[in-house]
């Protein structure tokens, strides 16, 4: 993370802890990218003044993002059924009010509801539905699973050491038009608020969160010697990857590493359309000849093989979907420090620095 991004992060954490807003910019380009710019505040620190202040700078639709487990505990079921709900967009729950001494629609009443949603002691019976506050249910693993504003807002509160419940509202300009991401920095500067980009948050969490779980280990004798097969599950998508180790890894000064993408038609059936089976065998041979090394066999979250044409260009290294963060964490778990890459590896030379072991 560069210095400017790091300073914005530190400022964002300080602001959230102090009950101040931060600007969250959706700069993603994925299928659920919106380009929206939102104000985010920690729900547990919200006040009536803050609710009133947010109303003037935002669309007025104040949402409260909270983890779906908390939403379930509070009875905040999805507003619409899963059949029509967009799988990656905002998941609105049924609107809600908390019992308080203030009219529920007033700034003080809505602030009381928002704080109640962040209070771990709040029970289902403390709330009434429908109400004036719009909860947004966030998915497990947060912004690492779904790069969306609600998940990002909750994760920011968590990073700040606060209850993972956040107020989120889209910023508007003086004409009431939504602020776009190209204007985010200017607007943040006018409001003297730190701005956090969604892609920076994802990058930060990928470095600081465990993305793998080691789940099995077995001896694997092969035509190229006896390997040890170690299974890893990616906690983000549940995909099971396999590391085949040969010899002693932790004692090696440099480790020979091969990364191979699963290719059903090539690996299993020896398809002549691609070189995958040959590359796999060569990798095992090279590692055996080197005396030690790691062959990382990456499975795909999508069906591989004939229907999807998983290997259209015949090779491994042109395929762009290597989960470099997952690879880095598996290699680190195996004790790999310095390493060399085999010929034909799926790792792209220009992206190896992303492993940053
Ligand atoms: Zn192939």
Ligand 1 geometric centre to CA of 229 (Å): 21
Select from 178, 208, 238 the last residue of a domain. Answer: 208
Q: Do 189 and 250 fall within a single domain?
A: no
Q: Do 204 and 219 fall within a single domain?
A: no
Q: Do 277 and 318 fall within a single domain?
A: yes
Ligand 1 geometric centre to CA of 314 (Å): 6
Q: Do 11 and 128 fall within a single domain?
A: yes
What pLDDT score was predicted for residue 18?
97
Q: How many domains does the chain have?
A: 2
Q: Do 218 and 287 fall within a single domain?
A: yes
Q: Do 162 and 36 fall within a single domain?
A: yes
| 276/304 Cα distance (integer angstroms) | 13
pLDDT band at 68 (very low <50, low <70, confident <90, very high): very high
Find out whether 256 and 290 touch, Cβ atoms under 8 Å. Answer: yes
Average pLDDT over residues 47-76: 94
Q: Do 269 and 351 fall within a single domain?
A: yes
Q: Do 193 and 279 fall within a single domain?
A: no
| 233/357 Cα distance (integer angstroms) | 20
Average pLDDT, the chain: 88
What pLDDT score was predicted for residue 341?
87
Find out whether 157 and 165 touch, Cβ atoms under 8 Å. Answer: yes
pLDDT band at 280 (very low <50, low <70, confident <90, very high): very high
Select from 208, 223, 253 the last residue of a domain. Answer: 208
Helix (H, G, I), strand (E, B) or coil at 185: helix
Catalogue the long-range contacts made by 190-195 (C-beta closer than 8 Å, 24 or more residues apart).
191/21, 191/23, 191/57, 193/15, 193/20, 193/21, 193/22, 193/23, 193/39, 194/8, 194/11, 194/12, 194/15, 194/22, 194/23, 195/8, 195/22, 195/23, 195/24, 195/25
Please report, for the domain that includes residue 195, its CATH number. Answer: 3.90.870.10
**Residue range 82-92, pLDDT digits in tens:** 545 455 678 99
Which of 69, 132, 62 lies closest to 98 in space, CA to CA?
132
Q: Do 10 and 79 fall within a single domain?
A: yes
Ligand 1 geometric centre to CA of 97 (Å): 56
Ligand 1 geometric centre to CA of 272 (Å): 9
Ligand 1 geometric centre to CA of 19 (Å): 53
**Residue range 285-336, pLDDT digits in tens:** 999 999 999 999 999 877 655 555 556 455 565 555 778 888 989 999 999 9
Q: Do 176 and 317 fall within a single domain?
A: no
Ligand 1 geometric centre to CA of 256 (Å): 22
Find out whether 37 and 184 touch, Cβ atoms under 8 Å. Answer: yes
Q: Is the pLDDT of residue 100 over 90?
A: no
Helix 149-159, helix 198-208: angle, nearest 10: 50
What pLDDT score was predicted for residue 315?
58
Ligand 1 geometric centre to CA of 267 (Å): 7
Select from 208, 242, 277 the last residue of a domain. Answer: 208
**173-177, 230-234, 297-301, 315-319: which is most confident:** 230-234
**43-52, 96-105, 141-150, 253-262: which is most confident:** 43-52
Please tell me which residue, 302 or 210, carries the higher pLDDT value: 210
Helix (H, G, I), strand (E, B) or coil at 219: strand
Q: Is the pLDDT of residue 356 over 60?
A: yes
Q: Do 235 and 305 fall within a single domain?
A: yes
Please report, for the domain that includes residue 225, its CATH number. Answer: 3.40.50.10990
Ligand 1 geometric centre to CA of 318 (Å): 11
**Residue range 131-172, pLDDT digits in tens:** 999 999 998 888 888 889 999 999 999 999 999 999 999 999
Range of the domain at 190: 3-208
Residue 50 makes CB contacts below 8 A (sequence gap 6+) with 19, 21, 41, 111, 167
Average pLDDT over residues 31-46: 90
Residues with a beta carbon under 5 angstroms from ion ligand 1: 263, 266, 274, 276, 311
Q: Do 116 and 245 fall within a single domain?
A: no
Ligand 1 geometric centre to CA of 340 (Å): 23
């Amino acid at each position: 993370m560069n210095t400017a991004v790091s300073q914005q992060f530190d400022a964002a954490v300080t602001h959230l802890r102090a009950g101040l807003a931060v600007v969250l910019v959706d700069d993603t380009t994925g299928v659920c990218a919106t380009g929206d710019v939102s104000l985010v505040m920690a729900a547990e620190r919200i006040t009536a003044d803050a609710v009133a202040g947010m109303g003037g700078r935002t669309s007025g639709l104040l949402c409260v993002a909270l983890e779906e487990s908390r939403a379930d505990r509070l009875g905040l079921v999805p507003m619409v059924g899963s059949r029509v709900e967009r799988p990656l967009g905002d998941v609105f729950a049924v609107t809600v009010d908390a019992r308080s001494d203030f009219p529920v629609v007033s700034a003080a009443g809505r602030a009381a509801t928002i704080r109640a949603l962040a209070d771990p002691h709040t029970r289902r019976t403390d709330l009434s539905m429908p109400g004036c506050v719009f909860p947004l249910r966030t998915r497990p693993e947060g912004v690492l699973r779904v790069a969306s504003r609600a998940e990002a807002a909750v994760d920011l509160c968590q990073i700040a050491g606060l209850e993972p419940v956040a107020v989120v509202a889209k910023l508007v300009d003086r004409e009431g038009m939504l602020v776009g991401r190209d204007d985010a920095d200017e607007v943040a500067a006018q409001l003297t608020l730190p701005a956090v980009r969604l892609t920076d948050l994802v990058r930060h969490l990928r470095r600081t969160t465990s993305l793998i779980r080691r789940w099995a280990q077995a001896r694997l004798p092969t035509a190229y010697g006896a390997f040890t097969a170690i299974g890893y599950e990616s906690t983000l998508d549940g995909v099971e990857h396999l590391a085949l180790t040969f010899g002693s890894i932790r004692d090696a000064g440099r480790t020979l590493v091969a990364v191979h993408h699963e290719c059903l038609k090539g690996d299993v059936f020896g398809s002549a359309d691609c070189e995958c089976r040959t590359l796999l065998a060569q990798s095992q041979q090279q590692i055996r000849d080197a005396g030690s090394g790691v062959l990382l066999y990456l499975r795909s979250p999508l069906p591989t093989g004939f229907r999807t044409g998983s290997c259209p260009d015949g090779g491994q290294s042109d395929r762009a979907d290597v989960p470099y963060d997952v690879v880095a964490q598996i290699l680190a778990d195996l004790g790999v420090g310095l390493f060399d890459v085999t010929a034909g590896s799926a790792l792209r030379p220009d992206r190896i620095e992303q492993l940053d072991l």
